[in-house]
């Protein structure tokens, strides 16, 4: 299928053939008919992409701060690789489209193949022939609403949410500052609500359009009599509500809104404008109410709503993103909104470059509503994978990847390339990502489904680097298909998944490795050699200064990432197994009390682990420490010897009368890959036993049980 893509590193725009996106639970697969270019939003995205690295940094100081923090934790080289990977990742453009449902896995069984729907969401409702959209970001289109009109739905929902924040009443005077596409739609919805609407913009043509089609009256910002005209329009009382839909770094819209508003009036900011709020002379003296409008409405930026498909109760949250979309479509159906007057251009997908030339000012031509049109293809854009006979591949290692985020692109795939491994399939949920990774690393094929991999007799080894909630499912499918599996941690999110994997692995001889890389590092090897031949129990003290992570981050969600105990602390339990050469038998954990909903209790935790040889390990995992402190610090005591690993940069070894310090680097990712590949090539046992992986994973679940009960928990030995 064709999709409009921007290379974020160079800013170049292109129309590429990429695989259609995959369909997964809670998603709806849609064949687009039209998508809308939102000039105000997309011109900003495109300009940032076209900027050089220095200007990118100036425009996104928040990301610069993240880079600096990452350098302190992981070093310049690792951070450089991450940044390069991010810059090399292509960006999907567009967030408002309409088309026909191809297939749906929505949990409410609301959408059927053939349904006409409007779609919303950046990275979902893209400028592409086929899109996969979460169920809460889709709305069915009324019969008398065209696909062209339905493509405006996202913009309509944004306008509607701004109006809801203002709360206008019948007969009130409302001013809309900014008469771009969003402002014109806002004016029409306000008039449909019985308000007296006045529009203001810098552009004469937009003002004229508003006067003819969308508002009761309008004027340019440069009009020297603007304030007098507005006073006359409102009978000298001022505007009850002012809604700002402009997009500018200037502070002028805020200042103007305050001047135009009635005493105790309301100013709502919808567009991205300068926000240096002037206290005097108006905001303070008039006691103005300043409100922000969050995009499409309640649910925006909430992964539980947008990604997991959990709706808000109607009685408590009357207007969500999806319900705003539905309400806007009803307004269009009832002819309360005239969208055809806002359409200035239509381009076929193959001509999309001309559309962006238009919004970037390369063509001196008035434009507003720009639509991308997609062909109605007779052939299927989404094919069911061909079912091939399953057989184990003999000979060289032939690899497929499922998932290819920044971690895989920085720490896994490059090491395979250096090993000269044949890279066959790359599968991600979005075709744009698959195609980019294929071209970047030299994979043979880019796909968006996994069945092709399981059914392929060309692939004998599969790397799983997806979100945590899919790990267990893919591992089980891969083992059934007879593939060697490398799965990033964690192996499973709960005991049920772990037991299911265990039952399958009992009768399976392929190699299964989980990404516990630290045991393979140079630093860990030095410590192991230091204690070689010493069979006494060890006292191990691990301190991890993990840093804060917001509770809405996907790794913190129980059903998606599993939290930091399951997703991160597993690393350190595995490393303790490696140093002690023993198995965990009992765990006990205590965490700091929660201070607010913005802090997870188990992000600050102390864990005590007893091992089968009598060794004892203590893990202090903290998210509330200083970012200036290095992340990981390990101490191991035994037999008159002490070993210290300081953030994998230095190893210090102390014996009875001597000590030495050794510089090291790397956390074992390269060595881990080499060990896994060599085991497959040479027919050797797995470099990491399944029993060890099982016990590490189970220990994380026992830690959670200990927190819940306040009691030590014994391991269940397989």
- The string of DSSP letters for 550-593 reads -TTSGGGSTTTT-HHIIIIIHHHHHHHHHHHTS-EEEEEEEEPP
pLDDT at 595 over 80: no
pLDDT at 387 over 50: no
522-562 per-position pLDDT tens digit? 999 999 999 999 989 999 999 999 998 888 788 888 888 99
* Topology at the third CATH level for domain 518-676+686-714: Dihydrodipicolinate Reductase; domain 2 (3.30.360)
Strands across the sheet with 90-92, in order? 13-17, 2-7, 90-92
CATH 3.30.360.10-classified regions of the chain: 518-676+686-714
Rg for the chain, CA atoms, rounded: 29
In terms of Cβ atoms closer than 10 Å to its own Cβ (0-12, 13-18, 19+), residue 17 is exposed
pLDDT at 224 over 80: yes
Q: CA triplet 434, 435, 436: central angle to 5 degrees?
A: 95
b/e map of 549-575 (b: 16 or more CB within 10 Å)? beeeeeebbeebbbbbbbbbbbbbbbb
* Topology at the third CATH level for domain 398-514: Rossmann fold (3.40.50)
Q: Which residue stretches of 26-125 are H helix? A: 39-50, 53-59, 61-88
**What residues pair up with 120 in beta bridges, in sequence order?**
96
Least confident of 142-146, 242-246, 365-369: 365-369
Quote the tokens at residue 54: 């220095």
**What residues pair up with 445 in beta bridges, in sequence order?**
425
Quote the tokens at residue 641: 């010897």
Distance (Å, whole) CA 269 – CA 245: 7
CATH 3.90.180.10-classified regions of the chain: 2-151+310-373
User: With respect to CATH, is domain 2-151+310-373 assigned 3.90.180.10?
Assistant: yes
566-584 per-position pLDDT tens digit? 999 999 999 999 999 999 9
Quote the tokens at residue 353: 């470059």
CATH 3.40.50.720-classified regions of the chain: 155-292, 398-514
Mind giving me the DSSP string for 279-345? IIIIITTTT-EEEE--TTSTTTT-HHHHTT--PPPTTT-S--HHHHHHHHHHHHHTTSS--GGGEEE
pLDDT at 394 over 60: no
179-191 per-position pLDDT tens digit? 999 999 999 999 9
Asked if residue 549 lies in contact with residue 587, where contact means CB atoms within 8 angstroms, the answer is: no
Distance (Å, whole) CA 369 – CA 185: 11
Of the candidates 102, 120, 121, 124, the one whose C-alpha atom is nearest the C-alpha of residue 111 is 102
- Whose tokens are 């094919």? That residue is 383
CATH of domain 155-292: 3.40.50.720
30-66 per-position pLDDT tens digit? 999 999 998 767 776 666 555 555 555 555 565 666 6
pLDDT at 382 over 70: no
What band does 226 get if pLDDT is binned at 50, 70 and 90? Answer: very high
Distance (Å, whole) CA 184 – CA 339: 9
| 110 to 150, 377, 525, 561: CA distances (angstroms) | 18, 25, 56, 27
Distance (Å, whole) CA 105 – CA 23: 7
* Other Cβ atoms closer than 10 A to 408: 24
pLDDT at 85 over 80: no
In terms of Cβ atoms closer than 10 Å to its own Cβ (0-12, 13-18, 19+), residue 153 is buried
Which position has the higher pLDDT, 448 or 75? 448
Quote the tokens at residue 12: 């170049």
What is the DSSP code (8-state) at residue 603?
A: G
What band does 91 get if pLDDT is binned at 50, 70 and 90? Answer: confident
Strands across the sheet with 461-464, in order? 445-447, 422-427, 398-402, 461-464, 484-487, 512-514
Q: What's the start-to-end Cα distance of the chain, in Å?
A: 48
Distance of CA 642 to the CA centre of its chain: 42
Give me the mean pLDDT over the 208-225 stretch.
Answer: 97
pTM of the complete model beyond 0.85:
no
408-450 per-position pLDDT tens digit? 999 999 999 888 899 999 999 999 999 999 999 999 999 999 9
Query: Which residues have CB under 8 Å from 345's CB, separation 6+?
Result: 355, 358, 367, 369, 370, 371
């Amino acid at each position: 299928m064709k999709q409009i893509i921007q290379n974020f590193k160079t800013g170049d725009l292109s129309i590429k053939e990429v695989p259609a996106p995959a369909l997964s639970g809670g998603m709806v697969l849609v064949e687009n008919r039209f998508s809308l270019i939102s000039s105000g939003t997309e011109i900003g995205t495109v300009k940032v992409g076209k900027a050089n690295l220095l200007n990118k940094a100036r425009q996104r100081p928040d990301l610069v701060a993240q880079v600096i923090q990452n350098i302190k934790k992981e070093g310049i080289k690792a951070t450089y690789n991450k940044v390069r990977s991010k810059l090399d990742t292509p960006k999907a453009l567009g967030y408002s489209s309409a088309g026909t449902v191809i297939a749906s896995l929505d949990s409410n069984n609301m959408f059927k193949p053939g349904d006409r729907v409007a779609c919303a969401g950046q990275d979902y409702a893209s400028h592409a022939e086929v899109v996969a959209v979460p169920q809460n970001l889709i709305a069915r289109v009324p019969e008398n609403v065209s696909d062209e009109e339905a493509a405006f739905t996202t913009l309509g929902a944004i306008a509607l949410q701004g109006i809801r924040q203002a709360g206008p009443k019948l007969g009130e005077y409302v001013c809309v500052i900014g008469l771009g596409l969003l402002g014109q739609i806002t004016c029409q919805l306000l008039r449909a609500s019985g308000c007296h609407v006045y529009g203001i913009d810098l552009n004469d043509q937009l003002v004229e359009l508003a006067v003819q089609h969308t508002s009761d009256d309008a004027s340019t910002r440069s009009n020297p009599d603007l304030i007098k005209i507005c006073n006359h329009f409102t009978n000298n009382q001022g505007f009850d509500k002012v809604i700002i839909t402009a997009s500018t770094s200037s502070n002028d819209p805020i200042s103007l809104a305050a001047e135009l508003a009635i005493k105790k009036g309301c100013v709502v900011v919808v567009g991205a404008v300068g926000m240096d709020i002037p206290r005097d002379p108006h905001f303070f003296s008039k006691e103005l109410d300043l409100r922000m409008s969050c995009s499409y409405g309640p649910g925006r930026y909430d992964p539980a709503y947008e990604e997991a498909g959990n709706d808000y109760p109607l009685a408590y949250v009357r207007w969500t993103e999806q319900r705003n979309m539905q309400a806007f479509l009803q307004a269009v159906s009832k002819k309360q909104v005239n969208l055809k007057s806002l359409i200035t251009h239509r381009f076929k997908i193959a001509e999309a470059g001309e559309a962006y030339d238009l919004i970037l000012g390369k063509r001196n031509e008035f434009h507003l509503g720009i639509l991308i049109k997609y062909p109605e293809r007779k052939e299927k854009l989404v094919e069911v994978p061909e079912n091939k006979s399953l057989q184990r591949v003999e000979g060289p290692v032939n690899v497929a990847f499922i998932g290819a985020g920044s971690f895989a692109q920085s720490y896994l795939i490059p090491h395979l390339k250096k090993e000269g491994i044949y890279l066959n399939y790359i599968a991600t949920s979005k075709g744009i990502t698959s195609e980019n990774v294929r071209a970047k690393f030299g994979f043979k094929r880019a796909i968006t489904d996994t069945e092709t991999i399981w059914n392929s007799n060309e692939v004998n080894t599969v790397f799983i680097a997806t979100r945590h909630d899919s790990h267990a499912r893919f591992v089980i499918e891969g083992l059934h298909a007879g593939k060697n599996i490398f799965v990033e941690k964690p192996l499973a999110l709960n005991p049920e998944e772990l037991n299911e994997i265990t039952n399958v692995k009992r009768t399976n001889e392929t190699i299964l490795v989980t990404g516990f890389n630290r045991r393979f590092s140079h630093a860990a090897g030095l410590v192991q050699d230091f204690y070689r031949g010493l069979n006494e129990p060890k006292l191990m003290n691990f301190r991890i200064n993990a840093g804060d992570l917001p509770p809405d981050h996907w790794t913190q969600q129980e059903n998606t990432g599993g939290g930091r105990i399951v997703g991160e602390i597993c690393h350190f339990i595995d490393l303790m197994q490696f140093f002690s050469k023993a198995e965990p038998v009992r765990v006990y954990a205590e965490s700091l009390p929660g201070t607010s909903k913005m802090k997870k209790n188990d992000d600050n935790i102390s864990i005590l682990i007893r091992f089968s040889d009598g060794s004892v390990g203590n893990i202090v995992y903290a998210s509330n420490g200083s970012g200036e402190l290095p992340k990981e610090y390990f101490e191991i005591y035994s037999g008159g010897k002490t070993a210290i690993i300081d953030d994998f940069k230095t190893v210090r070894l102390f014996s009875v009368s001597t000590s030495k310090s050794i510089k090291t680097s790397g956390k074992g990712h390269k060595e881990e890959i080499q060990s896994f590949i060599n085991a497959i090539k040479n027919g050797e046992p797995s470099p990491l036993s399944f029993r060890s992986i099982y016990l590490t994973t189970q220990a994380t679940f026992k830690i959670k049980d200990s927190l819940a009960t306040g009691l030590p928990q014994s391991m269940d030995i397989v």
